[in-house]
Chain A
């Protein structure tokens, strides 16, 4: 199979990126090194190509009604130019995908979904399509850049006529410009830093990419998917296929705040209500390694020699400078202070369950 390339492929090569296959796309995993890139984003700003993400447009008079049926959160309360993070479940409460949804109006919503799930999502959405709704694959209409980090706003502001300080988290400007090119700008991201995602026509992507790097000078660098993963992990943001998936419910993953069990009806509601009532059998917990070793996704978690779950994500956390992880384990053991064993290459290494182990950026002082 031929790997797909984003409009920024040539830019990645120009920056000596190490390219890999990611969900069928030839993408940059790193440029100067994952740890350096990770720290760059936490300290200043980083520019990511996330054009591989899928985009699904739902439109028509019943667009919002369809979305409301499909997702776990109540989207009827969303304002125009608001972005909603939400999850789409099967009848049994397993997660089909998690995504952010952009509300242009009640009859126009844009879903930005995981690249690997796009076809599955489209099939599922079309199976439930309502007569006055239209579902289109809009992935080829957009190149997507993420500009993240404490200096992101200052850099983007030099190229954008709109006052970005007025753009709140999870809001977007549908018709702005960046470096003179039409752009949708949202204050969203997947790094735990403040920042933006910028949607462009594919033919404008290289120009805007270069202009942002020029405008940011020493404060900005291109960042690969490797650091994107360590950044999201260190900020405890869930990754589909690890913290959530077809056999993990949002409640097990601790995503209660994105599940509105009281809304009128959504697919998976009955199963999730039942699980909420009886208590989820497993919980996602934070842990820190007590012995030497790196926990990795899929490693078994044991207690007194018995397997009680598995690691969903684990890594050296570059900003925190420690080895931490997330694990999905039997609820009985999901207590802060509890010691568990991580099975690393046939050896067990102790880890302690905690809370607040992960990265939280310091908020700016109120003006």
Chain B
């Protein structure tokens, strides 16, 4: 299982890549591996304002359905529509297949997310 050093994580298995005030959000390698083959994704609407931990979308594998939560507060400014036709990209490259970009309204929230090390410990104790 891959955990990237340069990302932040949540206990619900989302990752965040910070670029200025933009947060790229996806699901972790652990999450995609637990879900198995992903066959469907429901993306958020553009311009929607989300609070941290609010539902961002849904991924469905052959056998399971999982909500994706936004780790941060802000406005959805971009969604990865490639995933609508090829949701399996999340299995193939979980850290490349970002799901949405949120323009963060509270940059400080990033500090409360898990570091790579903390997420690794969290997953190992699952």
- The residues of A with any CB-CB pair to B shorter than 8 Å are 18, 29-30, 33-36, 226, 230, 292-294, 296, 315-316, 318, 323, 345
B123 sits at the interface (CB 8 A): no
- The residues of B with any CB-CB pair to A shorter than 8 Å are 36-37, 39-40, 42, 58, 60-63, 65, 84, 91
**Contact indicator A226/B36 (Cβ below 8 Å):** yes
A31 smallest CB distance to B (angstroms): 11
| Chain B contacts for A296, CB-based, 8 A | 65
Give the residue name and chain of the A residue nearest to B41 (CB): A292
**Contact indicator A315/B62 (Cβ below 8 Å):** yes
Q: How far is the CA of A320 from the CA of B15 in the complex (A)?
A: 33
Q: How far is the CA of A316 from the CA of B61 in the complex (A)?
A: 9
**Contact indicator A230/B65 (Cβ below 8 Å):** no
- Beyond A29-B63, A35-B62, whether A293 also contacts B36 by CB under 8 A is no
**Contact indicator B62/A292 (Cβ below 8 Å):** no
**Contact indicator B40/A316 (Cβ below 8 Å):** yes
B48 smallest CB distance to A (angstroms): 15
| Chain B contacts for A30, CB-based, 8 A | 36
Give the residue name and chain of the A residue nearest to B63 (CB): A226
Q: How far is the CA of A230 from the CA of B63 in the complex (A)?
A: 9
**Contact indicator A33/B84 (Cβ below 8 Å):** no
Give the residue name and chain of the B residue nearest to A38 (CB): B62
Beyond the given pairs A29-B63, A33-B36, A226-B62, 11 more chain A to chain B contacts, judged by CB atoms under 8 angstroms and listed by A's residue number, are A18-B36, A33-B91, A34-B61, A34-B62, A35-B62, A36-B37, A226-B63, A294-B39, A294-B60, A296-B65, A323-B40
Q: How far is the CA of A149 from the CA of B85 in the complex (A)?
A: 29
B40 smallest CB distance to A (angstroms): 5
A323 smallest CB distance to B (angstroms): 8
- Beyond A226-B62, A294-B60, A345-B58, whether A34 also contacts B36 by CB under 8 A is yes
| Chain B contacts for A226, CB-based, 8 A | 36, 62-63
Secondary structure at the A interface, as helix, strand, loop or mixed, is mixed
Q: How far is the CA of A294 from the CA of B39 in the complex (A)?
A: 8
Q: How far is the CA of A47 from the CA of B36 in the complex (A)?
A: 20
Q: How far is the CA of A230 from the CA of B62 in the complex (A)?
A: 8
| Chain B contacts for A318, CB-based, 8 A | 62
| Chain B contacts for A293, CB-based, 8 A | 40, 42
| Chain A contacts for B60, CB-based, 8 A | 294
Give the residue name and chain of the A residue nearest to B61 (CB): A34
- Interface CB pairs A-B, < 8 A, 18: A18-B36, A33-B36, A33-B91, A34-B37, A34-B62, A34-B63, A35-B39, A35-B62, A226-B36, A292-B40, A292-B42, A292-B84, A293-B40, A293-B42, A296-B65, A316-B40, A318-B62, A345-B58
B1 smallest CB distance to A (angstroms): 13
Q: How far is the CA of A318 from the CA of B84 in the complex (A)?
A: 16
B63 smallest CB distance to A (angstroms): 6
Give the residue name and chain of the B residue nearest to A29 (CB): B63
Q: How far is the CA of A30 from the CA of B84 in the complex (A)?
A: 25
- Beyond A30-B36, A33-B37, whether A316 also contacts B58 by CB under 8 A is no
**Contact indicator A316/B65 (Cβ below 8 Å):** no
Q: How far is the CA of A35 from the CA of B60 in the complex (A)?
A: 13
Give the residue name and chain of the B residue nearest to A36 (CB): B37
Closest 8 pairs between A and B when the two form their complex, measured CB to CB: A316-B39, A35-B37, A34-B62, A294-B40, A33-B37, A294-B60, A34-B37, A226-B63
Give the residue name and chain of the A residue nearest to B87 (CB): A316
| Chain B contacts for A29, CB-based, 8 A | 63
| Chain A contacts for B42, CB-based, 8 A | 292-293
| Chain A contacts for B37, CB-based, 8 A | 33-36
B41 smallest CB distance to A (angstroms): 9
B36 smallest CB distance to A (angstroms): 6
Residue of A230, A294, A315, A323 ringed by the most chain B CB atoms within 10 A: A294
| Chain A contacts for B39, CB-based, 8 A | 35, 294, 316
| Chain A contacts for B91, CB-based, 8 A | 33
Give the residue name and chain of the A residue nearest to B62 (CB): A34
B45 smallest CB distance to A (angstroms): 13
